[in-house]
Structure 1
């Protein structure tokens, strides 16, 4: 996506500035996608800040002119090589990171999606350095971004509820 603070609309300049982008004076919109299959979620090991090296749901920043669902589909494809057949909007979440001095370094407002139908085989790409299917118990043993365990529990519960509603029709 590049640096929305310094890059403006110039895609080439945007890409060059991505790693040196200063904190935005405003919250930045993005997406987070909980991919669920057989009672497990797909996590990515983040390759860049904030939370570089921590496990998280696939997702990322929204580009200018891109709808949130388009962002979710693009980020899912970039980071996991999966193509979502259906996305369910779950709500919004704030993700605020602070430096050691207590100053806000990043503030993202994430549109959260659930994906239980997809095409392809997952493989790490883009900002994701590694992928892993995990249960909630397995996720509890990993270094994860804040609040991820709670979100995994909610996504697994929603996926089960959706599956039960579908089988009762």
Structure 2
């Protein structure tokens, strides 16, 4: 007896599931933006496509990361504003405060290493550059989830007061 191929998903369940999981990010950021801030040791590594529609920030910063960028929300972030479709935050890069705005749809990875919680999302249709080289002058991040070699991680560790 031959099996019939699965029917075409006209409900788009995968897209609905991705959107629902991005709601987890929005809820976590809303909690981090509350007056109590991040509870305990929680902190977030958020990776996003820098060329995705709606991503905004200083051109010099985004041009250093032509594919993806990872930001860390832990001790030094300001004016975190999680909206319905995007979030904005001010972070220091090279000692200078810079504001970035990121649509939740541009997020490809959300990781809270304090509890080993990871959400990964389908990458956009933009191809990645497997030959991208690392820049030795960029700050290093503490170990996180397995990452592609082309990924650039921005860590705020060097800017923290000890």
Quickly name the TM-score band, shorter chain normalised: 0.3 to 0.5
As a proportion of its length, which structure holds more strand? 1
Higher helix share: 1
Larger Rg: 2
